[in-house]
Structure formats: C-alpha cells, structure tokens
Amino acid sequence: SLAPMFEIFTTQIYSHSILSNLSFGGARYIGTGRGFATTRQSFATLYSRFASSSIYSGMRSLILLMFCCVTMFTAPLLYFWFTCLGLILSPWLYNPHQFSLMEFILDYRNFLHWMSAGNSSSAKDSWIAHCRYARTRITGQKRK
C-alpha cells in the first residue's frame, strides 16, 4: 500500500496552506471531488496546483539527500528517500485513471505544449503565466 506516501503528501499540502495563508492571506478552496473518480486532471493542472507546495520542496530535499548520501550513507536515510519520492510523485500517483496509456501520452504532449506556450506571445494558460501569477502573491499586482 502506498498510503504513507499519500499521508506525506497531504501533510505537506496542509502545512503549506497554513504557512502561505499566514504569510500572504487569501485562502481559497480547491474542490477535491470527493465523489467517484470520474475525471482526471492534466499534468499541467496538477503541476500548477502542487508545484510550490509539494514538488519543489520534494526536489530541494532530494538534492540535499543526494549530497548526504554521497558524503555518508546510512540505512535510516532510506526513509528520507521515501519522503522525497512521496512529495514529488504523489500528485500523479493519486490522479484518477492516471495509468491509462493513451491518456498519459496525450497528457504528456499537452504538458510539453503548456510548458512552451507563452514564450513568443502572451498565453493565458501557460507555464510562464503560472510563474507570473505565483510571483504576484509576493510582489503585488500592477494596475494598468
């Protein structure tokens, strides 16, 4: 069972929500769809929702963990590997119907398009728009 990975992920989401709401304010609700698993979210949607709260912190911890394992490896570090993988992979592992091959291929193509959109012209639904929106929480939004 991968329940511990899900617990690591949800705990990180809860702590990030509390810290960001205390720092910046602006709490908002993201529907979880507690019903049956009928739809799946695209990679781009998952990335934009969970990058700052789970994926980035998991990658930072993974880089530090790799350095620790290169300098001195001990068996208890395996639990930290499990934690890092849980933070990075859980948004995709617990997406309903994630392991459908055709949907995965289409999602991957759309994710690459989402990452490259907005480079030459303005695109509302793109990675650069997501980064700009995330930055406005700290710097504020310009009024035109």
Query: What's the half-sphere exposure (Cβ side, CA atoms, 13 Å) at 18?
Result: 5
- The predicted pLDDT at position 69 comes to 92
- The predicted pLDDT at position 85 comes to 93
- The predicted pLDDT at position 122 comes to 72
Q: How far is CA 28 from CA 16, 21, 44, 96, in A?
A: 13, 9, 20, 23
pLDDT in tens, the chain (144 residues): 788 888 999 899 888 888 888 877 766 666 665 655 567 788 888 888 888 888 899 999 999 999 999 999 888 889 999 999 999 988 888 877 777 888 888 888 988 888 888 777 677 778 888 788 778 877 777 665
Query: 0.85 cut: is pTM over it?
Result: no
Measured distance CA(99)–CA(108) in Å, rounded: 12
Measured distance CA(130)–CA(48) in Å, rounded: 7
- The predicted pLDDT at position 143 comes to 63
